Structure 1
């Protein structure tokens, strides 16, 4: 990665495929982010950059890499293969970690108590869910062009998630029918289902 490429990423800001970290606080916490990227569209984790895009550098490259290796090898099931590169800027070291979209999903992150939890990306956040529906990777173009789906996509591009109740009010149908439509769109690969915490929410799966 070049300085120009890093600057371009910083300008774009965090998203469903990009996250900045000043440093890695623990292997368990970063395992959640790695698993979430792998469960969705893949992504890039930039370490040594604050959430607001300020370049800080990491105090110890080796320490960060050890946490990454522990997270990807021991705290994500199935284990993940990740790649990284180091960028040196004015004496500061930045780590850019690439996580590919996985063919072995769902991946579970193991927390401090040993519990296995599925995580996904919802816009620029990593969120837990108990249910993971592997939809059709090639979403039907006619589905996306339908008035219902267009209204939903427009809403979710401005909001993190939607519930069946909110969707029912948005398109003026019953909550039962709205929930059914949301589940169908999830099975088609358009949405992600997030059921922790309740109520069940749905987020846009397609990369921005």
Structure 2
């Protein structure tokens, strides 16, 4: 593992830096977002700008991370730890593998369980549609879609336009939010459309 190269890459969709672990809730959010995505690594002892500070108390960091993974993530996660010395400073590398039991929820400071996904270098709250997609991907039952005028209208719209939001789709066909969500979930699962989540919005494009 080339730790210096990893640090040079900066924070990414599969990599996050932490100087130290101070909150189980906050770190669980990052861990869960990795598990719900393609997995990822936490580098503890590194500042956001890539400065290597090193870990002062490895036992304390491991304790907080394990506690977060076991009690602040649902289903629980199993982090893989590796200690690496860089210029005589200890960096704790914590790997969270992509889960096959998605979605994972993180316990928030409000006492509620929330699903997070990784978007670029941030852990972002997942929408109802993304949560449903994760659930049904895990069930792996396949998707049978009967194309009604509602689905056809969406696909025709996306042939002429780059993107659409759930709200726009609902307004276009005068659909209730739940009905529109169900259609979107089916089309995402079947690979016909793609969901794009950003920090500010969520939108859909043709695949």
TM (norm. structure 1) is 0.69
Tell me whether 1:59 sits opposite 2:56 in the alignment.
yes
Tell me whether 1:50 sits opposite 2:86 in the alignment.
no
- Following superposition, the deviation at residue 109 of structure 1 comes to 0.3
Q: Which has the larger radius of gyration?
A: 2
2:142 maps to which residue?
A: none
1:9 maps to which residue?
A: 6
Tell me whether 1:187 sits opposite 2:189 in the alignment.
yes
Does the aligned pair in 2 maintain the 1:78–1:107 contact within 8 Å? Answer: yes
2:78 maps to which residue?
A: 81
Cα separation, partners in 2 of 1:174 and 1:112, compared to 1, 3 Å: closer
Deviation per CA, 1:95-115, whole angstroms, max 9, x where unpaired?
A: 101111100010000123321
Deviation per CA, 1:113-171, whole angstroms, max 9, x where unpaired?
A: 3210001101110011242113769xxxxxxxxxx79x96xxxxxxxxx8629xx8xxx
- Pick one of 115, 119, 137 that aligns with 2:116: 119
Cα separation, partners in 2 of 1:73 and 1:41, compared to 1, 3 Å: same
Does the aligned pair in 2 maintain the 1:130–1:196 contact within 8 Å? Answer: no
- Alpha-carbon distance in 2 for matches of 1:102, 1:33: 14
Tell me whether 1:97 sits opposite 2:94 in the alignment.
yes
Cα separation, partners in 2 of 1:44 and 1:163, compared to 1, 3 Å: farther
- Following superposition, the deviation at residue 11 of structure 1 comes to 1.9
TM (norm. structure 2) is 0.69
- Following superposition, the deviation at residue 194 of structure 1 comes to 4.9
| Superposition pairs of residues 83-162 of structure 1, within 5 angstroms | 83-131=80-128, 132=131, 133-134=133-134
1:201 maps to which residue?
A: 202
Cα separation, partners in 2 of 1:18 and 1:182, compared to 1, 3 Å: farther
SS in 2 for 1:85: strand
Q: Which runs of 5+ in 2 are unaligned?
A: 139-157, 174-179
1:72 maps to which residue?
A: 69
- Following superposition, the deviation at residue 59 of structure 1 comes to 1.7
Cα separation, partners in 2 of 1:83 and 1:49, compared to 1, 3 Å: same
